Amino acid sequence: MCFRKPSILSYAAVVGKAENDGPFGGEFDEVVEDNKAGADTWEQAEALFQRRAVGHVLRKSGLKPDRIDVVIAGDLLNQCVGSSYGLKDYFMPYLGIYGACSTFAEGLLLSAALVNAGYMDTAIASTSSHFSTAERQFRFPLNYGGVRTPTSQWTATAAGAALIGSSGKPPFIRAATIGEIEDMGICDLNNTGAAMAGAAYDTLMRHMKHRGTHPQDYDVIITGDLGQVGSDLLYDLFQRDGVDMKSHHKDCGLMLYDRTMQDVHAGGSGCGCSAAMMCGHFLKRVESGELKRILYCATGALMSPTMVQQGGSIPGIAHCVEISSEAGG
């Protein structure tokens, strides 16, 4: 899909303390020091993170909620409660989506398509994740003393949101590619990087083929949360085609935390991981022109503990959004 009109009017990231202690601390709009954010439960806390992120986006754009045509949001929790409970008090038209950790790119591309087609003037893409809610739902209780394997990733406690419209100012969303579900046969809940790398490779390949571009045409190619294992596998897959991806690539999962000091194993993950890195770090640099053209490929492991317990593997998905400081399709 190529777009002419859509641009990102405002964006914001809200992160927890550990995320702000990482290498990009200080770049986020708000840091919630208490991971429970004063709420009674972790799920309510995650909803609060998302509410705050959208609140910052509205404040920065100067628009009231009634001027927003749609908010497209999702998260990792069952029934996407982080989004629905977080956004219910804004009374904005709402579409819930699920793409695991690829949700932010999915929201961005849907918002851009709706704005580009003229159906909407303003659309917000929003997402969140929380370490504690994800652990409870997908793995073990928080205080359980089981040890995580080195390939496992740390779900980011973070939320990110972006308002898409057509202001004529950068950052512009110029193109997007919707990912296909790729099942690489990975069955290990603690190796989601490996489950997603195939999908990232496929979507990036298709996007660049469609656009007639190569990795070197982009200032940076950003993947969502492949972590160390997934990033290495992505390089391997491109290497087989004789393409050097490593020197053009950055992974939000490897950026958000300081892996030498913070015990996050193979890196960060969760919808909020790449959303926070995009809204806190990258979009600013595209807006200022420091980065001219970037490719954001958010990756999701469509994993269900039930399916894995039944012997199933973990399908992966990746959606790609091309963002530029210059307008044009």
| C-beta of 93 vs 141, nearer to another protein | 141
* Residue 97 CA, distance from chain mean position: 13
- Quote the least distance from Cβ 24 to another protein, whole Å: 24
| Phi, psi for 122 (deg, rounded to 5) | -140, 135
| C-beta of 116 vs 228, nearer to another protein | 228
- Applying CB under 8 A, the residues found at the interface with another protein are 40-42, 136, 140-147, 149-151, 182-186, 191, 194, 198, 201-202, 229, 232-233, 236-237, 240, 263
| C-beta of 67 vs 139, nearer to another protein | 139
Is-contact 220 247, C-beta < 8 A?
no
Euclidean distance between CA atoms 7 and 5, whole angstroms: 7
| C-beta of 31 vs 184, nearer to another protein | 184
Both structure tokens of 191: 């190796």
Cα first-last separation, the chain: 9
Other CB atoms within 10 Å distance of the CB of residue 147: 7
- Quote the least distance from Cβ 282 to another protein, whole Å: 26
Q: Sort 299 into a burial class: Cβ within 10 Å, 0-12 / 13-18 / 19+.
A: buried
- Quote the least distance from Cβ 319 to another protein, whole Å: 17
| C-beta of 110 vs 204, nearer to another protein | 204
- Which uninterrupted H or E stretch holds 238? helix 227-240
